[in-house]
Structure 1
Amino acid sequence: MELKSQMQYKASFVLTMVGQFMTAFTTFFGIQFIFNRINGVDDFTYGQVLLCFSVIMMSFAIGEMFGGGLAVFPDLIREGSLDRILVRPRSILPQIIMPNMDFSRLGLLLQAAIVLGIAVPVSGVIWTGKKIFVFVMMVACGSVLFFCLFLLVAAVSFFTIQNLNFLDIFTYGMRDFGKYPFSVYGDAVLRVLTFGIPLALVQYYPLLYLLDREDGIWYMVSPLLSLLFVVPSCWFYRFGLKNYKSSGS
């Protein structure tokens, strides 16, 4: 239904999608500019960095398509609209997510697919059925992680009743960090992105498996391990909902 309503203004929808496509491509040009001057970053080649970039951008595009609409939470709370949603005999999240899905993010997904097409032949990965499956897991689990990050940021508004822009570092900031293998930022950051916000489990560790630098089973299944992040994300959301107090608007 939301796609149908967005397509009622086809020119606006197409221009927005093209804008998403072109804006995201500036990051690609930034990577291209850097590799015109150096041969590698932390022992990763141009093609391997593009592979990381495409995984994170695909994951973010899908995660934001479903989770980006949760940014309306502060407005719903301030206006009292959340009270009306709560009394309906339906699950809360679908009522908020479905009307606010942004299909213009398909432009970002298309851009990531193009970058992937550039990366595959120059990444040095010897593709097998198993490695293709691991790559699909990287994108799928990464999408879930980004959705969880949007959910966490939205759940904070149960306590603040407003949108705190600095929390965007956990969503859009993580997207920007992910354009390079997380190891380039140092061991401390890598540990945080392994045990805290486990994006390294869908980017850095399975990448080592794809490149045949590691062959342990844990590197192969690390994207699945990242799904444990769903538990604290859902718990915090439910905790906020349980302690929600109407704004009285």
Structure 2
Amino acid sequence: MAERAGAPSAYLALLRGQARSQASYRTSFLVDLVGNVGATVFDVVTVLVLFRVTGTLGGFDRTEAMIMVGLSSAAFATADLTVGNIERVRQYVRTGLLDAVLVRPLGALPQLLLMDLPLRKTLRALFGVAVLTVAVASAGIDWTPARVALLVAAPLAGAVFFGAIFVATASLAFWWIDSGEVGSAFTYGGRDFTTYPMTVYGGWFRAVFTYALGFGFVAYYPALALLGRTDPLGLPNWVGWAAPGVAVPAAILAGLVWRTGLRRYGSAGS
């Protein structure tokens, strides 16, 4: 019981240690901090380049599409900052470092997340929020209390959703140590997928990623609700307002996959 009571302070100590360690070489840290913005900037620039040759993308104009880009970028960058380093669990399983984590009187997942928290990715999350802010300010949205609440909830829920994808795909390492490429297809591939309106995709691909896997509820449907637009794909308008709720079952499922894999894990023996 005493161990549990001291857990928050222990996690805080891990976080402080990581911050001090990463900031000790200030020049290197600042270079990494600025350099890591590039990936998110590239996502935004790619969409803007497309609008140099077309007036609409999947039936949406540039400002409307940029709201989706902003929601997706803010959500993914926040998840990558806070949860993305769980991808390193493959290395921990391979080298036996996970054994040392499991003998401590703390939760394995929080420890792993705090062991190498990539603070250098902070500006990526802030840039995503900035893109979203500029996009919604330019869209002429009819603001109501409900839309303001959705604007706050959607990127946070999207971050939880992407975090769940990170955890679930990283958990594959307990069964398949070289599952990295599969995991990247759903994490970084999911980020790319949510950057564009779902109307640009078609057939089984759209059905699987938009609805079955839930990626369409990260940015596309919240954007429709913010804009007051009817879904060209035919779902009712209330779906956009309920979209952030998809993050809850995603997080629960990811937790189940993680715990199942952890129970299956056998010591590396090193």
- Structure 1 length-normalised TM: 0.92
In structure 2, runs of 5+ residues without a counterpart are 1-15, 231-235
Please report how far the alpha carbon of residue 226 of structure 1 lies from its aligned counterpart in structure 2 after TM superposition: 3.4
Structure 2: distance between partners of 1:76 and 1:57: 28
Partner of 1:240: 261
Counterpart code for 1:112: G
Structure 1: distance between partners of 2:246 and 2:130: 28
Counterpart code for 2:88: V
Please report how far the alpha carbon of residue 194 of structure 1 lies from its aligned counterpart in structure 2 after TM superposition: 4.1
Please report how far the alpha carbon of residue 163 of structure 1 lies from its aligned counterpart in structure 2 after TM superposition: 4.7
In structure 1, runs of 5+ residues without a counterpart are none
| RMSD of equivalent CA atoms | 1.8
Structure 1: distance between partners of 2:202 and 2:139: 23
Partner of 1:111: 127
Structure 2: distance between partners of 1:130 and 1:187: 33
Instruction: Return the match for 1:30 from 41, 46, 54.
Output: 46
Q: Percent sequence identity over matched residues?
A: 28
Partner of 1:219: 240
Instruction: Return the match for 2:84 from 59, 68, 89.
Output: 68
- Structure 2 length-normalised TM: 0.86
Structure 2: distance between partners of 1:59 and 1:201: 12
SS of match in other structure, 1:3: helix
Structure 2: distance between partners of 1:142 and 1:212: 20
Which portions of structure 1, spanning 4 or more consecutive aligned residues, are displaced by more than 4 angstroms? Answer: none
**Are 1:162 and 2:191 counterparts?**
no
**Are 1:172 and 2:172 counterparts?**
no
Tell me, yes or no, if the aligned pair for 1:66 and 1:101 is still in contact at 8 Å: yes
**Are 1:197 and 2:213 counterparts?**
yes
Alpha-carbon displacement from aligned partner over 1:211-243 (angstroms, at most 9, x marks no partner): 112474332122113321122211111111111
Structure 2: distance between partners of 1:195 and 1:22: 30
